[in-house]
Amino acid sequence: MIRDYDIKFVNKEITPFGGLSLFLKMLDRCHFDEQLVKSGIPSQGSNRGYNPVQIILGLFAGVWCGASRFGHLDIVRYDTALCNLLGWNRGAGHRAYQRYLNKFSQATNQRVFSELFSWFFSELVFDNYTLDFDSTVMVREGSQEGAAKGYNPKRPGRPSHHPLLAFVSDVRMIANYWLRPGNTSASTNYLSFLEDMLSRLQDKRVGLIRMDSGFFSGNILGYLEQRQLSYIIACRLNNRIKYSLTHEKTWVEVADGLEIAETTYQAEHWDSPKRIVMVRQEVKKRPKAAGKQVRELELFEDEQDFGKYRYSCFVTNLALPAKIVYDSYRGRADSENRIKELKYDFSIDDFVSHNFWATEACGNFIVMAYNFMSLFRHALINSDKKKFLKTIRYELISTPAYL
């Protein structure tokens, strides 16, 4: 039976998100508000408009507190204690966020976020880092700008956006985010994206670039070699590569059910052959193995091992042993975890505006909020496990407090 409690109303302003004060102090110690102004964020056209810094800090606070769309940002507006903590007379309504983000254009996004990301990573101490690239599908329900039918494995035929992301694996942070229409391929605009990425981290040295098969392109390989950048890229399994995989005779077993070999491959328009590391895993011994099976009669009838193995293949310019190349690439899977966290904990795919560049601007600010949360985890949470935002919200942010 539920016990009876006295319910009283007091004059103290209480917030359910008292733990957020730690994160706000971190932003203050980093002088983030000053950097926002220096980056050239758009100004308000009216004296009645909210301070742009307040809008962006409100977005950060809302996302950290669990807001999953613009309408949920009122959680900050109605939390008087939180607004007082931030020094605001009143919080902005969710439409104020949308109106402000509509001021961002393509040129504004490029200027502001290049400046912000360059500043952020220049303050971190790391070098010779591993850079991972990936793309993801964000399904759209309306007729937003740039929403188009394209690759969409979960909801075929639905319009979507197809953003491109760059991850700094060593610090588990995101260094670049470009929104793209849904009908683009994984490698569309990649070279421009990479140039922008390298300019943001120009004071640090790239040790290795890893990409999935969506970036398996002669133009990309040629560019990376011209820049003298080390890479490992998953191969797209065309018929020639499948033939090499299924007819290779010199496999070396490096673990139970795991065999590795290598060869060279030169596509029709490539100017030179490339080193290929081939991997096959026996399905019976490794039922959860990554890779693809080659269907029977897909190539040649004389092959006896159809269905027995899952195959993976990687192109690289590294001179390391094949097993080390394979092990080095496997760490790229962690970028998928970063994307899941962006979607499920930070709701990056649910903050969408009709204006394409407003959606991209909002996505970049959410990525920046993610990076600051990652910095907080590295610096202040003493745990071997990297906790997700949802766990941090339950254990730390959702702490009742009053001023």
Distance CA 312, CA 310 (A): 7
What b/e readout covers 386-395, taking b as 16+ CB neighbours within 10 angstroms?
Answer: eebbeebbee
Tell me the pLDDT tens digit for each residue of 69-126: 999 999 999 999 889 888 898 899 999 999 999 999 999 999 999 999 999 999 998 8
Could you write out the DSSP letters of every residue in 201-251?
A: TTTS-EEEEEE-GGG--HHHHHHHHHTT--EEEEPP--HHHHHHHHH----
CA angle 41, 123, 206 (to 5 degrees): 105
Q: Where are the domains of the chain?
A: 14-107+350-402, 231-316
Tell me the pLDDT tens digit for each residue of 341-374: 999 999 999 999 999 999 999 999 999 999 999 9
3-state secondary structure of 164: strand
Tens digit of each residue's pLDDT, the chain (403 residues) = 677 777 777 777 888 888 899 999 999 999 999 999 999 999 987 777 899 999 999 999 999 999 999 999 999 999 998 898 888 988 999 999 999 999 999 999 999 999 999 999 999 988 899 999 999 999 998 889 999 988 887 888 899 999 999 999 989 999 999 999 999 888 888 999 999 999 998 888 999 999 999 899 899 999 999 999 999 999 998 888 888 888 888 999 999 999 999 999 998 888 899 999 999 999 999 988 888 887 654 544 455 566 788 999 999 999 999 999 999 999 888 899 999 999 999 999 999 999 999 999 999 999 999 999 999 988 877 666 778 888 888 888 888 777 6
Q: What is the value of pTM for the model shown?
A: 0.91
CA distances from 376 to 20, 99, 166 (A): 12, 30, 20
The strand pair at 173-178 and 138-139 is best described as unpaired
